[in-house]
């Protein structure tokens, strides 16, 4: 039975996909030539290992064959460059200058100037070590951020409610106020360093004082100094609200903006519009009579007195006794016409 079943298994036809795969693997592979059958019309940029073809293609062109020939010509150009052998293989020396220079909308960004600390580290060949963001808090026995929200500094500040007085120190001084003052002093020094770095980065051309004053040998004047002081006072985050105030110093440095009135109900908005329309469409115009009368009285009181007419010598007041074209004098008679 086993012998009779063997011929039937051998006679079973193979699957067509498998047969095609076996025939393809057994067939010899034909390598295409390393030369192109068409004319070389490409523009090469060997620095970027790129080739460009700007010629239009015929609709019946075989894109696969055309692309293969273009890549083959690019590879031939690459192998024509000077080569050096290394342990990893053959290395091709690319040209230093490219063929195409694409235009830029903006200039090439300049390198950011180094700060004093960065220059100090570079001169001494120091490397910056990245610190971990989380640190272990001995008070809460938990990991907390080094800075920011719920950091270890806030936890330490809440637990430091007793300060030991050093030997020879002032026992009546407030240690909490001293620590707060030292913290503000460190912040001011850091701000000064940031400003100094910006000035040095700008080449020393940036004005280190209030930037609203003019340059040159012109004098600032009293008004210029007042304006500079005013702008410096409101340059903080709170607009100078929590700063110390000198005696007899104005505190309302920033003028308050008048907010627009928004009606809460449609009836109020309607009445406001009707009132404005009535004032504009009035026959006498949008004029306040009482205010206009007050202005007129004030102008009349401030006006200089009109001088009386002075009797002129000779022919008298001009225009009183005028001569007619016939040469006679027209004198006005009292009592009207006769």
In the chain, which ranges are continuous DSSP H helix? 2-10, 16-26, 63-79, 116-123, 152-159, 175-201, 221-233, 266-281, 289-302
Distances (CA, A) of 260 to 58, 257, 263, 301: 69, 9, 10, 38
Residue 6 has a pLDDT of 45
Who has greater pLDDT, 136 or 31? 136
Residue 138 has a pLDDT of 85
Kindly report, residue by residue over 279-338, the tens digit of the pLDDT: 777 756 556 667 777 777 777 776 665 555 555 555 555 555 555 555 555 555 555 454
Mean of pLDDT over the chain: 75
Q: Cα(96)–Cα(46) distance, rounded to whole angstroms?
A: 9
Who has greater pLDDT, 249 or 285? 249
Residue whose pair of structure tokens reads 């008679």 in the numeric block:
333
Q: Cα(314)–Cα(322) distance, rounded to whole angstroms?
A: 14
Residue 5 has a pLDDT of 44
Question: What is the gyration radius of the CA atoms in the chain, in angstroms?
Answer: 49
Who has greater pLDDT, 100 or 26? 100
Q: Cα(323)–Cα(318) distance, rounded to whole angstroms?
A: 11
Who has greater pLDDT, 34 or 209? 34
Class of residue 197 by CB neighbours under 10 A (exposed 0-12, middle 13-18, buried 19+): middle
Residue 118 has a pLDDT of 87
Q: Which residues, 6 or more positions from 143, have their beta carbon under 8 angstroms from its beta carbon?
A: 134, 135, 136, 137
Percent of all residues in the chain with a pLDDT value above 90, rounded to a whole number: 7
For the chain, the first-to-last Cα distance in angstroms comes to 170
Question: What average pLDDT does range 190-196 have in this prediction?
Answer: 87
Q: Cα(295)–Cα(300) distance, rounded to whole angstroms?
A: 9
Q: Cα(176)–Cα(162) distance, rounded to whole angstroms?
A: 9
Q: Cα(92)–Cα(77) distance, rounded to whole angstroms?
A: 11
Q: Are 158 and 140 in contact (CB under 8 A)?
A: no
Give the range among 82-91, 107-116, 119-128, 253-262 with minimum mean pLDDT.
253-262
Question: What average pLDDT does range 138-149 have in this prediction?
Answer: 86
Kindly report, residue by residue over 50-69, the tens digit of the pLDDT: 999 888 888 998 999 899 99
Q: What is the pTM of this model?
A: 0.30
């Amino acid at each position: 039975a086993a012998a009779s079943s063997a011929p039937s298994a051998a006679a079973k036809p193979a699957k067509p996909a498998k047969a095609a795969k076996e025939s393809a693997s057994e067939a010899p592979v034909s390598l295409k030539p390393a030369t192109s059958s068409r004319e070389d019309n490409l523009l090469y940029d060997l620095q970027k290992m790129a080739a460009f073809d700007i010629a239009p293609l015929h609709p019946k062109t075989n894109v696969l064959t055309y692309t293969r020939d273009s890549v083959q010509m690019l590879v031939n150009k690459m192998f024509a460059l000077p080569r050096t052998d290394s342990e990893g293989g053959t290395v091709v020396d690319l040209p230093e200058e490219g063929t195409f220079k694409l235009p830029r909308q903006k200039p090439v960004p300049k390198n950011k100037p180094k700060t004093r600390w960065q220059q100090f580290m570079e001169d001494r060949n120091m490397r910056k070590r990245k610190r971990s963001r989380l640190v272990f808090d001995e008070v809460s026995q938990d990991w907390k951020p080094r800075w920011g929200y719920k950091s270890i500094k806030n936890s330490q500040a809440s637990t430091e409610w007793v300060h030991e007085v050093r030997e020879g120190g002032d026992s009546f001084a407030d240690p909490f106020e001293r620590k707060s003052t030292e913290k503000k002093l460190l912040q001011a020094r850091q701000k000064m360093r940031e400003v100094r770095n910006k000035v040095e980065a700008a080449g020393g051309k940036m004005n280190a004082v209030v930037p609203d004053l003019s340059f040159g040998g012109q004098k600032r004047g009293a008004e210029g100094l007042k304006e500079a002081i005013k702008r410096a006072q409101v340059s903080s985050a709170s607009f100078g609200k929590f700063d110390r105030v000198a005696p007899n110093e104005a505190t309302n440095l920033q003028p308050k903006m008048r907010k627009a009135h928004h009606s809460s109900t449609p009836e109020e908005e309607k009445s406001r519009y009707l009132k404005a329309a009535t004032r504009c469409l009035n026959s006498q115009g949008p004029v306040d009579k009482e205010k206009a009368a007050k202005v007129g009285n004030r102008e009349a009181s401030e006006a200089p007195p009109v001088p009386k007419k002075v009797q002129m010598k000779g022919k008298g007041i001009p225009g009183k006794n005028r001569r007619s074209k016939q040469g006679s004098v027209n004198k006005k008679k009292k009592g009207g016409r006769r």
